[in-house]
């Protein structure tokens, strides 16, 4: 990353130990719908990003911050120094740890990549990750989510500012804590790719894709859910479609 961007960003941060914020990777349980019903308490004043110790599961060179309420922060990790950014939203009860191989792969392709651990407010968690990524100086960004992370990414796509350059959703539900993820209920009209498995609630995934645009939906055989699709026989196809879709968002 250019020294000038890093210097400006780090000057605003106070280093805190990760242990005080998150007990273990995966410990920020987002619940069945990716976040608890209750948001931050009134007496837990929100605070800006502050640097924390890098979690053990993320690669060397990653940056980590905590942001949001002191009593329930959102932990965000970032890797890479490209001008195009990707936010990877985890599955329910999971964290950035599940995305590490993907983060490394896309950072190696020149992206700045970010993922996070859910707080009790799922929508705020994703928004916080977007804010952290934008603070890294990227010119544009896309949302990539798995399961609950996919549904929340689709649900918030029409409400984020600046808007994402695209949304890639793996096995999304049609409803999330952030509202409906169905394309019929969204004002988002930008690039969209939904990938689902035939035996894994494909009806919901199809609702998130656009019924009038078959290019927004890819269905693979079997019942693998979310990131598990990458470990199936169709995994290479899924990875190829993901990579091509994301590259196309920033072409030119």
Q: Which of 182, 144, 168 is nearest to 216 (CA)?
A: 168
Confidence of residue 48 (pLDDT cuts 50, 70, 90): confident
Q: Count the alpha carbons within 13 Å of 216 in the hemisphere toward its beta carbon.
A: 19
| 190-224: burial string, b at 16+ Cβ within 10 Å, e else | ebbbbbbbeebebebbbbbbbeeeeebbbebeeeb
Q: How far is CA 206 from CA 10, 149, 203, 229, 236, in A?
A: 42, 16, 5, 16, 21
Q: Give mean pLDDT, residues 167-193.
A: 96
Q: Dihedral of the CA atoms 30, 53, 98, 203 (nearest 10)?
A: 40
Read off the pLDDT of residues 98-148 as tens digits, 9 standing for 90 and up. 999 999 999 999 999 999 999 999 999 999 999 999 999 999 999 999 999
**Mean pLDDT score of the chain, rounded to an integer?**
86
Domain count, the chain: 1
pLDDT at 46: 53
Read off the pLDDT of residues 79-91 as tens digits, 9 standing for 90 and up. 999 999 999 999 9
Query: Which residue range is the domain that position 115 belongs to?
Result: 3-250
Is pLDDT above 90 for 230? Answer: yes
Give 29: exposed, middle or buried? Use CB within 10 Å, 0-12, 13-18, 19+: middle
Element (H, E) at 220: strand 217-220
Give Cβ neighbours of residue 37 (< 8 Å, ≥ 6 apart).
120, 177
Q: Give mean pLDDT, residues 162-176.
A: 97
Which domain CATH number covers 201? 3.40.50.1820
Considering the entire predicted model, what is its pTM? 0.83
């Amino acid at each position: 990353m250019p020294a000038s961007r890093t210097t400006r960003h780090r000057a605003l941060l106070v280093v805190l130990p990760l242990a005080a914020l998150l007990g273990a990777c995966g410990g920020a349980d987002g619940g069945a719908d990716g976040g608890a019903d209750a948001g931050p308490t009134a007496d837990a004043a929100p605070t800006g990003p502050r640097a924390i110790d890098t979690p053990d599961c993320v690669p060397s060179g990653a940056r980590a911050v905590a942001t949001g309420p002191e009593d329930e922060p959102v932990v965000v990790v970032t890797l890479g120094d490209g001008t195009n950014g990707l936010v990877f939203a985890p599955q329910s009860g999971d964290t950035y740890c599940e995305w590490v191989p993907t983060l490394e792969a896309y950072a190696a392709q020149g992206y700045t990549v970010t993922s996070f651990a859910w707080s009790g407010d799922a929508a705020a968690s994703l928004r916080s990750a977007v804010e952290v990524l934008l603070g890294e100086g990227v010119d544009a960004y896309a949302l990539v989510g798995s399961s609950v992370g996919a549904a929340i990414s689709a649900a918030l796509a029409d409400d984020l500012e600046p808007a994402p350059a695209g949304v890639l959703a793996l096995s999304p539900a049609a409803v999330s804590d952030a509202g409906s993820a169905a394309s019929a209920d969204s004002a988002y009209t930008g690039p969209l790719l939904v990938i689902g498995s035939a035996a894994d609630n494909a009806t919901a995934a199809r609702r998130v894709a656009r019924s009038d645009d078959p290019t927004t939906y890819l269905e693979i055989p079997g019942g693998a859910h979310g990131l598990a699709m990458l470990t199936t026989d169709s995994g290479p196809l899924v990875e190829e479609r993901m990579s091509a879709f994301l590259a196309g968002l920033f072409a030119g």
